[in-house]
Structure formats: C-alpha cells, structure tokens
Homo-oligomer: A and B are copies of this chain.
Amino acid sequence: MAQIIDGKLVSKKILENLSDEILFLEKKPSLTVIIVGEDPASKIYVNLKKKKAQELGIHSNVIEMPESVSQKELLDKIEELNNDDSVNAVLVQLPLPKHIDTKAVIEKINPIKDVDCFHPYNMGQIATNGKPYVYPCTPKGIIRLLEYYDIPIEGKNAVVIGRSNIVGRPVAQMLLNQNATVTICHSKTKNLDAIVKNADIIISAVGQKNLIKADMVKDGAVVIDVGMNRADDGKLCGDVDFYNVEKKAAFITPVPGGVGPMTICSLMQNTFDLYKIQNGS
C-alpha cells in the first residue's frame, strides 16, 4: 500500500508560511494575469489564481482582452506591464486564440517578471543548470512534494512521460539537475512498458487515463500523476490506474489532491520570489 503524497496538505503548509511572510510587508507583491477571450476553463483557472492571491495578501489584477484582440495590442499591454514597477509578476493565461503567436507573446514578458517561467531565457537557465528567476509551477510543485516526503532523487532512475514545455521537459531537467538519471518518453516511444518498469520515479504528464498500469510499475516505485482527465463516471482522474498501482508503489499522488494544488501554490511562491528579486533581496 503506497503512502499517499498529499498535495493539499503540503500546499496548505507552504501557503500558510507564505501568508505570514506577506502579512508583515508594507508593500505587497503584485501579480497581473492577462486573459484573452471567453474560454470557460481559462476563466476558472484565472479566478482561482486571483482568489488564492487575494487570500495571501498578494495584489492581483486581471486584465481581460477580447478574443479578437490583435497581437500588437497584446504585446503592447505586456510591454506596459514590463515597465510598470508596481507589477512584480506577469502571466498570460494559455491557450491563446489561433491568430496570436503564442511564442512571441511568451517571449515578450520580461524574464524577471515571467512568473510562469515559460520564457526561453528562464527555460534555458534550467536546461543549463543555471539560475532562472523562478521555476515553472508544476515541475516546482513536483520537486517540492518529493522533498517534503524525503524521497531521494540523486542516482534514481526517473522516467518522465510527456514532453510538454510546461511540465515534461522542465521537470526532466530539474530532476537531472538533482542528479537523477532521466529518461523522457512520449508518443513516439517504443516499449514504454519496459522503460517505465525500470523506473524508481515515474512522472506521468500525458493526459491519458489508465496509461500507467500496475504491471508497468515496479514494487516500491514513486508515482507522480500529473494527468487531468475525466473518468467514465465523470470524475477527475489522472494518467495512473490509481486503484491497482497504489498496491505496488511506495508513494503515489492522487488526482485530484496531489500535484494540482502544488501548481497554484508554486505560482504564489513564484510571485513572492519575483517581488523579492525586484526589491533587492
């Protein structure tokens, strides 16, 4: 029976500490989120971010732009925020409408305010074991969970399934930077089962339910499920066949309640970290 990695608990503790630190600040950290269009899921996420920021005493501002906004207007708005000293952290909620060049938008954000850590400069720092201003939220959350439960990383075989820029690629780099032997798998990988069977640490960030089955998991493995899917009964589930994998793993994250809460927690930490960097500490 695996020990459950409780992301709700860990994020709660981190945010309580963060709240205490922010309480004593005269000038509060400030996060601005740009949302383009009316995508319902995006609206939910943005509201969540705004609400969490407010709970912690972080100033949050949401700028709503219509679906039809031009790329130039969006880039100009980001430039304005780059130059606004009262704004510490900027993010643009993805996805963006198809007429917008997402990479150009990501690159417009000044890396020192890039709270999502999507800018190639910050990603390049991670890829070279350097010093990004902050770390990408979900990978940062994953590493924090491993640390909280004293799960060793050095020398371990870590298998990351999924190579998105948001999760798979950066978490692989961050595990490598902590001396794991890292394998990155994806849709073109052959023999996924055999590769995962050798893993000490499995990070699945694919978005496919029941991808990770018990016969793919070695006894005592650590299983981190980043997937967010709908099960047949409509409930939220991850990539992992939790019920069966739990019997073999040493540690496992549930969905929901595992990695998910850590992502927004990291966003708040990142906002505070950027505030501190910009205010000279």
Q: Are A176 and B181 closer than 8 Å at their CB atoms? A: no
Q: Please report the C-alpha to C-alpha distance between residue A124 and residue B132 in the assembled complex, in whole angstroms.
A: 11
* A271: interface (CB < 8 Å): no
Main secondary structure of the interface of A (DSSP, over half): mixed
* A253: interface (CB < 8 Å): no
* Chain A positions 38-74 with a Cβ under 8 Å from a chain B Cβ: none
0/1 interface trace, chain A 156-175, chain B, CB 8 Å (1 if under): 01000001010001100100
Q: Are A129 and B181 closer than 8 Å at their CB atoms? A: no
Q: Are A119 and B124 closer than 8 Å at their CB atoms? A: yes
Q: Are A179 and B173 closer than 8 Å at their CB atoms? A: no
Known pairs A155-B189, A181-B189; A127 contacts B124 (CB<8 A): yes
Q: Are B103 and A130 closer than 8 Å at their CB atoms? A: yes
Q: Are B179 and A182 closer than 8 Å at their CB atoms? A: no
* A190: interface (CB < 8 Å): yes
* A11: interface (CB < 8 Å): no
**Copies of this chain, count:** 2
Q: Please report the C-alpha to C-alpha distance between residue A129 and residue B169 in the assembled complex, in whole angstroms.
A: 10
Q: Are A127 and B130 closer than 8 Å at their CB atoms? A: no
Q: Tell me the smallest distance from the CB of A158 to a CB of chain B, in Å.
A: 10
* A32: interface (CB < 8 Å): no
A181 proximity list for chain B (CB < 8 A):
183-186, 188-190, 195
Q: Are B190 and A155 closer than 8 Å at their CB atoms? A: yes
Q: Tell me the smallest distance from the CB of A203 to a CB of chain B, in Å.
A: 14
* A123: interface (CB < 8 Å): yes
Q: Tell me the smallest distance from the CB of A152 to a CB of chain B, in Å.
A: 11
Q: Please report the C-alpha to C-alpha distance between residue A125 and residue B122 in the assembled complex, in whole angstroms.
A: 10
- Top 5 closest A-B pairs, CB basis? A124-B124, A120-B124, A123-B124, A127-B127, A179-B188
Additional A-B contacts beyond A123-B124, A163-B176 (5; CB < 8 A): A120-B130, A121-B124, A176-B184, A181-B183, A181-B188
A binding-site residues for B, Cβ under 8 Å: 103, 119-130, 154-155, 157, 163, 165, 169-170, 173, 176, 179, 181-186, 188-191, 195
Pairs across A and B, CB under 8 Å, 8 listed: A120-B127, A121-B121, A124-B124, A124-B127, A128-B169, A155-B190, A157-B190, A169-B176
